[in-house]
Amino acid sequence: MKSSNQFSDALHIMAHLVGQAGPRTSEQLATCLPTHPVVIRRLLAALHRGGLVHTARGHGGGSQLARDPASITLHDVYRAIGSPALLHTGVRETGRGCPVQQVVNTALDESYQQAQALLEARLRATTLATLGEAFAQHLAHPAAGVPHEL
């Protein structure tokens, strides 16, 4: 896996579950990211606790969406995996006695809070159905040389 962005990975998993007739195993989903199935199972467990996927164990088991994709927002996914930080401001913790550092930290914190609020608003406005539609368009008109397996 190239990054440890759980949110991006969780969205990737959820997008692969959109439109599936049956459950998908963590092994199948792991080939799509690509990553280890254990990483997928951890994310699926969080998504299950969040009420976004149903998971069945054993032969013929796997995970599938618990609700219609049009009723699941990207913010729902974000919250299900614990609302990880979306932005990093680089606020310096040292130099607390320096008045300039305090002003810089305050400015960065305010900007961070505004950006976080805007991102979360956009996440609330986008559903898995939207991602599914974009993926279907991609499959209909793929970029040259960039195949994608389901």
* Mean pLDDT by groups of 10 residues along the chain of 150 residues: 71 91 92 90 96 91 95 97 79 69 81 90 94 78 59
Assigned domain for 104 exists: no
Assigned domain for 120 exists: no
User: What is the structure's pLDDT at 44?
Assistant: 97
Locate 34 and state its tokens.
């690509």
Assigned domain for 34 exists: yes
> pTM for the whole thing?
0.80
Number of domains in the chain: 1
Assigned domain for 30 exists: yes
The Cβ-side half-sphere exposure at 52, using a 13 Å CA radius, reads 28
Assigned domain for 13 exists: yes
- Residue 11 sits in a domain whose CATH number is 1.10.10.10
Assigned domain for 59 exists: yes
Q: Which string of b and e fits 11-45 if b means at least 16 CB within 10 Å?
A: bbbbbbbbeeeebbbbebbbebbebeeebbbbbbe
Assigned domain for 111 exists: no
Assigned domain for 25 exists: yes
Domain of 12, in residue numbers? 6-86+127-140
- Phi and psi at 19, nearest 5°, equal 80, 5
User: What is the structure's pLDDT at 142?
Assistant: 67
